[in-house]
Amino acid sequence: MAVHISSPRTYVGIFVALLLLTATTVFTAFQDLGPLNDVVALSIAVTKMVLVVLFFMHAKYSTRLTRIVVVSAFAWLLILIAFTLSDYLTRGWLGVPGK
């Protein structure tokens, strides 16, 4: 099995991108974007997660099985977030007993 070796330049580039995305996260935390605050923060976080998984965890150059596992884990995360949001968004639909 051939092992892919990335250059240090790639790692430094990804590291700088992660630092810039972290600075962007801090900057947007102090901005009032209304209901888009969560969307922007999660978008930046997902972008950072994808960079870490692809390059630092070597998923970009790994076997098909590893890619399937990574995609399955991300799909499972989306399912868990969907169920959590469905619970949170429907809490006000029923009245509180006794009131």
10-69 confidence digits (pLDDT tens) = 999 999 999 999 999 999 999 999 989 988 999 999 999 999 998 888 888 888 998 899
Residue 95 covered by a domain = no
What pLDDT shows up at residue 59?
A: 85
Whether 96 is covered by a domain: the verdict is: no
Residue 81 lies in a domain: yes
Q: Is residue 41 part of a domain?
A: yes
Q: Is residue 34 part of a domain?
A: yes
**pLDDT category of residue 1 using cuts at 50, 70 and 90:** low
Nearest to 56 by CA among 12, 1, 2, 20: 12
3-state secondary structure of 31: coil
Number of structural domains in the chain? 1
Q: What is the pLDDT of residue 11?
A: 92
Domain containing 76 equals: 8-89
Tell me: pLDDT of 78 over 70.
Answer: yes
In order of 1, 38, 81, the CA distances from 18 in angstroms are 30, 19, 24
First vs last C-alpha separation in the chain: 67
